[in-house]
Amino acid sequence: MGRLPSFGIERPPTVLLAVIASTFFVGFGGGVVFPILPNLGAVLGISAFMVGVILSANRWVRLVANAPAGALVDRYGTRKPFVYGLLIEGIATLGYVVALVMPPAESLRWVAEGLPTVAVGSLVVGTDQWFTPIAAAVAPETWFLLARVLWGLGSAAVFATAYTIAADVSDSGSRGTNMGVVRGGITMGFPAGLVLGGVVSSLAGNVAAFAAAAAFALLASVVAYRLVPETHVTSAGEKASVRPWEIDTSIPAVTVGLVNFGLLFAYIGALFATLVLFLGENDVSLLGLDPQGTSGIFMAGTVISASVFMLVGGRISDTRESRTPILLAFLVVSFAGFLLLARAGSTLDLALACLFIGAGQGGTSGPMMALLADLTPDERMGRASGTNNVLGDVGGGLGPMLSLPLIDLVGFTPIYVACAAVPLLAGVVLLFGIRRETGTFLPGRIATEV
């Protein structure tokens, strides 16, 4: 591997570069919906609670799908689940387009009156096409919900395989860096989707934004099919012992998963699901854009910050005897970010809060997954990743469902202040779990070589 002279960071293995590229492209579909749907809900007559359900539906599906995805990776390998997962996510993103080009009122009128054709947006749909009566009977919120459900199934496979691939090709001296790089690749497509959803929808409309995201998401599966080989090879006996619904309940897996739960509860639930509403309430705008466009840029900045500090945190943890201090430091940064968010009253205040929240979220990700890989045997890494994803998705799923209705009751500031405490509680859980597993708060890195 070549060395990057500016930072002393080794070039990631080629397979990880392929994983980063494909997860980046598919991430557009994950981010595009957030700047659009909260405002679109009012246009379509979707309640705040239903918007929260749609935004979190993929995480509830992953709650069920993560465990079998991780078990299947340990039994059958990484390549096929990764490629098929990306393809499913690409198809799911097309569901957003369908939700908007199949307005139920117009379609139902066509069915009721027996018209030979019906105009749907810029499309003309004929009555001889078998699928149109089905589409006509489905409300837009149902299409959005189905798309998010399908996205959850695909992303369960992608998340379990991506982290396992990184663990397979790493040793103790590169594990934190590689985990940070892969996590950064998974999340960097998300801010691109946020910008796509906010800016493109403001300039060219919601359908154009969703269609562009779908094209990139489908491209991701092509990239993976061509460039990602099999990395997770186990013996026949080990494969036979893995059951599809098996989940890793070891102390390291549960501890890291609980930290992930707290961070995603605050990050997705309190920031991403409410930011567009916060901007509209406080009349904060950037570059003359409306709340959708402005929120897309702010959220993109947050995730870019997270992606940068994923690499920084992972690299630092690889150069220290223990990963614990850097994890705790970034949890404190996250705490400070939410306090800044609670008092933000200007564009500059909000930008600073997003920078801190992103840095705290990202800086924990690489070291945290590296710590999990340090303490988990290779043959169980798929299932351990599944446990981490299950608990993270519980947090990410509960967040929007609770924060959106509660903001209507108590306002933004109390919710953001409460979320500031979450990273501190996560730090306590982390220390307790590490001590129970290793007998010390500062365990050394495990020197397992690939």
What CATH number is attached to the domain comprising 250? Answer: 1.20.1250.20
The answer to whether position 162 is within a domain reads yes
The answer to whether position 360 is within a domain reads yes
Quick one: average pLDDT of 44-66? Answer: 79
Tell me, what's the pLDDT at 430? 96
Closest CA to 373 of 277, 248, 263: 248
Question: Burial level of 108, CB count in 10 A (0-12/13-18/19+)?
Answer: middle
Number of domains in the chain: 1
Quick one: average pLDDT of 150-167? Answer: 87
In this prediction the pTM is: 0.69
The answer to whether position 340 is within a domain reads yes
* pLDDT over 80 at 35, yes or no: no
Give the pLDDT confidence of 322-350 residue by residue, as tens digits: 999 999 999 999 999 999 999 988 889 99
**Under 8 Å between Cβ of 417 and 339:** yes
The answer to whether position 448 is within a domain reads no
Of 251-255, 352-356, 367-371, least confident by mean pLDDT is: 367-371
C-alpha–C-alpha distance, residues 188 and 186, integer Å: 6
> What is the band of 449 on the pLDDT scale with cuts at 50, 70, 90?
very low
Quick one: average pLDDT of 283-303? Answer: 82
The answer to whether position 159 is within a domain reads yes
The answer to whether position 90 is within a domain reads yes
Tell me, what's the pLDDT at 327? 95
Tell me, what's the pLDDT at 446? 54
The answer to whether position 113 is within a domain reads no
The answer to whether position 110 is within a domain reads no
Containing structural domain, residue 414: 3-102+138-438
By DSSP bridging, strand 123-126 and strand 9-10 are: unpaired
Half-sphere exposure of 20 (CA within 13 A, CB side): 19
**Under 8 Å between Cβ of 360 and 331:** yes
